[in-house]
């Protein structure tokens, strides 16, 4: 029986990745508790499981006394002599339990611990798998909609994840069986097991799409410095290269716009402005307000990270954008507060 038991533990270690030492420690603890509960043993007991010699040793410890008051913790000298001929009053003796006495208890305890160990190992493996996908794009299959909450259940590999309504791109429709790309924002390990938090609106989705489409970003020649996004509508991405011979913006756009076009298609037609990053705030702010032309950028010394931008009168609407979107995205991209003014000083455009 011992041989089969240790072989089973070795097999679990190999197939499920559960260390034998971990299982032995847990099983020994469970047997110790079970001996006390089911056999009226004392809390002072010994459980040794030796895989090298395939040996179990279970014993209870009792104090030698002249008169017994608590049979679970005390033993008479005459009885103690069976286990230790030299035992004296006041000393503690170990009383080994035969396999038939604790065998059933051990089997039940081992079964419970092994089941729990398998569950924990599988959760651990799933958590590790999820963590390997954190901050990455995964392809998912749409399983079903929750019409009440607006959320969508997706299948990712053999697992399911929820795409909340707040993380869905406005206007996008997801039909059962559709395959879509989502960004893994975070991974957590809750009471119900590992959970993957996914999004279609996170700026990280655009960043990873560019890393996948543009070899110069993947190999580090071109660096993404900042992204600001209003999902489903427009994204601004600032790129930079230390190599003066590399056109960072051109590399991202690709030949005839092929690279950026494939990303736009993946995002359902979302507009993308690729902007050249500059250490000079004035240059960076001017570029960030693209496609509008900027005549001048005045940095306000009194107010940190605030500036006044002058644009031609006929470019004012373009600089501000629909409902202020262009100016808002430029401000997020640069981290500056931008006050846009027309060249004439008058806001009424002809």
Phi and psi at residue 78, to the nearest 5°: -60, -40
**Are the CB atoms for 226 and 277 separated by under 8 Å?**
yes
- Would 202-277 and 288-350 be classified into the same CATH topology? yes
Is pLDDT larger for residue 16 or for residue 53? 53
DSSP 324: G
- Chain segment 194-228, per-residue pLDDT in tens: 888 999 999 999 999 999 999 999 999 999 999 99
* Local confidence band at 1 (pLDDT 50, 70, 90 cut-offs): low
- Is 349's pLDDT higher than 50? no
Q: Are 319 and 326 in contact (CB under 8 A)?
A: yes
pLDDT at position 350: 42
DSSP 61-108: EEEEESS-S-TTTEEEHHHHTTT-TT--TT-EEEEEPPHHHHHHHHHH
CATH number of 202-277: 3.30.300.20
Phi, psi of 232 (to 5 degrees): 85, -10
Burial level of 227, CB count in 10 A (0-12/13-18/19+)? buried
d(CA 317, CA 320) in angstroms, rounded, equals 5
State the DSSP code for 126. H
Q: How confident is the model at residue 43 (pLDDT cuts 50, 70, 90)?
A: low
The helix (H) or strand (E) run that includes residue 252 is helix 248-253
* Secondary element (H or E) of residue 350: none
Cβ neighbours around 276 below 10 Å, total? 19
Q: Right CATH number for 137-199 from 3.40.50.150, 2.70.98.40, 2.40.50.140, 2.60.40.1110?
A: 2.40.50.140
* Cβ–Cβ < 8 Å for 28, 57: no
CATH 3.40.50.10680 for domain 288-350, yes or no, is no
Check residues 39 and 330 and name the one with the higher pLDDT: 330
Does the pLDDT value for residue 122 go beyond 80?
no
Backbone angles phi, psi at 121, to 5 degrees: -65, -45
d(CA 120, CA 118): 5
Is residue 320 scored above 90 in pLDDT? yes
Fold of 2-132: N Utilization Substance Protein A; Chain:P; domain 4 (3.30.1480)
Structural domain boundaries of the chain?
Answer: 2-132, 137-199, 202-277, 288-350
Residue 243 CB-half CA count within 13 A: 13
| pLDDT band with cut points at 50, 70 and 90 for residue 71 | confident
Q: How confident is the model at residue 346 (pLDDT cuts 50, 70, 90)?
A: low
Sheet strand arrangement including 271-276: 223-230, 234-240, 271-276
| pLDDT averaged over every residue in the chain | 88
* pLDDT at residue number 10: 87
Strand-strand pairing, 223-230 and 306-311: unpaired
Distance (Å) of CA 263 to CA 203, 209, 252: 13, 7, 10
């Amino acid at each position: 029986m011992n041989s089969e038991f240790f072989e089973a533990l070795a097999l679990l270690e190999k197939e499920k990745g559960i260390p034998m030492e971990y299982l032995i420690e847990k099983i020994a603890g469970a047997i110790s508790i079970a001996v006390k509960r089911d056999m009226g043993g004392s809390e002072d007991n010994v459980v040794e499981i030796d895989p090298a010699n395939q040996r179990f040793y279970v014993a209870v410890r009792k104090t030698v006394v002249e008169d017994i008051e608590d049979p679970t913790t005390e033993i008479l000298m005459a009885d103690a002599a069976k286990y230790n001929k030299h035992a004296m009053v006041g000393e503690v003796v170990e009383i080994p339990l035969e396999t038939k006495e604790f065998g059933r208890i051990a089997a039940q305890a081992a079964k419970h611990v092994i089941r729990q160990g398998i569950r924990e190992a599988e959760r651990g493996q799933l958590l590790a798998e999820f963590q390997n996908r954190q901050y990455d794009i995964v392809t998912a299959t749409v399983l079903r909609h929750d019409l009440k909450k607006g959320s969508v259940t997706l299948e990712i590999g053999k697992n399911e994840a929820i795409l909340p309504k707040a993380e869905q791109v406005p206007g996008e429709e997801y039909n059962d069986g559709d395959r879509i790309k989502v960004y893994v924002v975070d991974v957590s390990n809750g009471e119900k097991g590992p959970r993957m938090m996914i999004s279609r609106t996170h700026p990280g989705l655009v960043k990873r799409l560019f890393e996948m489409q543009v070899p110069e970003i993947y190999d580090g020649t071109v660096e993404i410095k900042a992204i600001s996004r209003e999902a489903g509508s427009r994204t601004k991405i600032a790129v930079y290269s230390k190599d003066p011979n590399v056109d960072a913006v051109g590399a991202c756009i690709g030949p005839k716009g092929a690279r950026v076009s494939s990303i736009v298609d993946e995002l359902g037609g979302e507009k993308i402005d690729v902007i050249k990053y500059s250490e000079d705030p004035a240059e960076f702010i001017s570029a960030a307000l693209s496609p509008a032309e900027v005549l001048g950028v005045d940095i306000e010394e009194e107010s940190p990270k605030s500036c006044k931008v002058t644009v031609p009168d006929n470019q004012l609407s373009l600089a501000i954008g629909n409902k202020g979107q262009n100016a808002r995205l430029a401000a997020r991209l640069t981290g500056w507060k931008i006050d846009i003014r027309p060249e004439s000083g008058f806001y009424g455009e002809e």
